[in-house]
Every structure is written in C-alpha cells, then in structure tokens.
C-alpha cells in the first residue's frame, strides 16, 4: 500500500487551519524539467498545499493559450513521461501532495497498471483526468484503489445531478469543479455559476470540492476560498514564469522559481484573507 501524501490529507490539514487549500498547476518541462521542479518547490515554500504537474500532450483540448505555449515548449524540448515521473519524485520530497494532470491517452499507452506502480513508487498522490469520465475509467479506478492513489474527476456548470453524483462517488481526494465552460486561462472574473456548482457537487456526495479555471488574482482566490475546499491556479504561474525570461528569451532557473513563489505568496494571501 502507498504511504504517499494524498491530496485529501493536504486539504483536510488546511481545513483544520480554517482555510481553503492552494493548488498549483505547472506543466512539466517548462521551461525545463529542472525549472518545473524549482518552481514547484518555491511555490510550496510560499504557501502551495498541493501541486499538479502537467504531463505534456500534443492535443491539450482543455488548456488555454498560455499553458498551450508552455506545453509546446516542453514538447519541443523533448519532455517525456519519464521526465514527469522524475519531477514527481523530486517534488514529493517536500512532503506536499503531488498530482499529475494528464489526458488519458498517454496513460493508456504507458499502461495503466504500470503507470500506477511507477507513479506510486515516485511518491505521486494521484491523477486529474479531464478527458475521461468515471464510467470509462474502470481500469484506472481499480489500479488507483490497489495503490491508494487519488482519482480526481471533473464537473462543470453543465453537469447534470446524475453526473455530479457519479463523479462524486468515483472521485478520491477531491472533485475538480471547472468554474466555467471552456479552456483554462486567466479571466477578469470567476464564472457566475461557480459557487452553485461547488454546493451542488457537495450535495451530490463529494467530501471535498476544489475550484479551478480562470483563477489568477488574490481577490479571486479570496472569493473562491469562502466556499471551496481548494483554489486551483495554473495560467497565472505560467505567465509569471514566461515573464521571468531575460530580454533574449532565456530562462534562468532561479528567476523562474522566484516568479512562481511570488504568485503563491500573493494567492495564499488572498486565501488567508477569506478566513
């Protein structure tokens, strides 16, 4: 059985402190594997509770422009599944829960049981799988159960009560509530249906519901932290990391880490203000 830190443990710890969790998404391989690890560790040091490491994929249907650029950079530099596992192992040494967010095809090609074994051995907590529903994930659910890994499925404002119930029952760790229909990215405001979606998902049986898509500022984090168990942010980190490059477009790992840490500090401040 796995002794890895799960997202549920991290979220419950934050709950005990009277606050929502900060969940940080970073695509592996941007600007390098080492840069991703440094950024994740800096984010954790500045208040991130759970890290989502993105497995680069050629057809990222859910990702907005900023993250797509980062994923293209990662793929262009030859980032592989083995690099993702290596990044998981290094970030997990911090004691934070480390999830991988991935489209299903890379896991299917790698082998579901093989992935669960290797990922668990690396210290991973579980998967967020945006393009597969529980009814199509029997192999993953079984493999995750065997290794005590989190299974994070998504719901959206369009989800029916039956879909919410099925997703809540199948998820382990938390349910990922997408605040709005569409792709990831920074927005001026969080979707108007976000709070209702969180409440409806809880009513459908979910123990923990974390909200993402469009969250980028401390004020938005404060708003969401008042009703959600976790605030999920990705594009704001990636944008700050892009902006850390020098005038020639060259990335320095220390600057990338500082940029990620600064975003975490700002967002954690917003979350703390919601207590």
Catalytic residues: 52, 63
Residue 190 has pLDDT above 80, yes or no: no
Hey, is 156 helix, strand or coil? coil
Cβ neighbourhood burial of 146 (10 Å; 0-12, 13-18, 19+): middle
Q: Mean pLDDT over residues 209-235, rounded? A: 94
pLDDT tens digits, 146-166:
999 999 999 999 999 999 999
Measure the CA–CA gap between 208 and 173, rounded to whole angstroms: 7
Q: What does each C-alpha distance from 219 to 159, 191, 225, 229 come to in angstroms?
A: 27, 14, 10, 16
Backbone angles phi, psi at 155, to 5 degrees: -130, 160
Token pair 């850390």: residue: 244
Q: Which domains does the chain have, with CATH numbers?
A: 7-149+212-273 (3.20.20.70)
Angle between helices 235-243 and 253-273 (to 10 degrees): 140
Sequence-distant (6+) residues with CB within 8 A of 270 are 217, 218, 219, 220, 221, 222, 225
Mean pLDDT of 183-189: 45
Model pLDDT, residue 188:
45
């Amino acid at each position: 059985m796995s002794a890895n830190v799960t997202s549920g443990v991290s979220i419950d710890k934050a709950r005990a402190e009277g606050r929502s969790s900060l969940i940080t998404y970073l695509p592996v391989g941007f600007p390098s594997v080492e840069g991703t690890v440094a950024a994740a560790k800096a984010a954790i040091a500045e208040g991130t509770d759970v890290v989502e490491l993105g497995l680069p994929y050629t057809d990222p249907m859910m990702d907005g422009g900023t993250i797509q650029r980062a994923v293209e950079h990662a793929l262009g530099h030859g980032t592989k599944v083995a690099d993702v596992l290596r990044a998981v192992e290094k970030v997990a040494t911090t004691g934070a829960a480390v999830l991988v967010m991935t489209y299903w095809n890379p896991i299917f090609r790698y082998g579901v049981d093989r992935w669960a074994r290797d990922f668990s051995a690396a210290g991973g907590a579980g998967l967020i799988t945006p393009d597969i529903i529980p009814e199509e994930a029997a192999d993953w659910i079984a493999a995750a159960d065997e290794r005590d890994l989190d299974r994070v499925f998504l719901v959206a404002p369009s989800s029916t009560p039956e879909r919410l119930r099925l997703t809540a029952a199948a998820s382990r760790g938390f349910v990922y509530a997408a605040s709005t229909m569409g792709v990831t990215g920074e927005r001026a405001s969080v979707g108007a249906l976000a709070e209702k979606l969180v409440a409806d998902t809880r009513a459908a049986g979910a123990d923990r519901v974390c909200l993402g898509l469009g969250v980028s500022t401390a004020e938005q984090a404060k708003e969401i932290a008042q009703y959600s168990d976790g605030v999920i942010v990705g594009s704001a980190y990636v944008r700050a990391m892009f902006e850390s490059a020098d005038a020639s477009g060259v990335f320095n790992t220390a600057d990338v880490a500082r940029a990620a840490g600064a975003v975490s500090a700002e967002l954690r401040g917003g979350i703390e203000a919601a207590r």
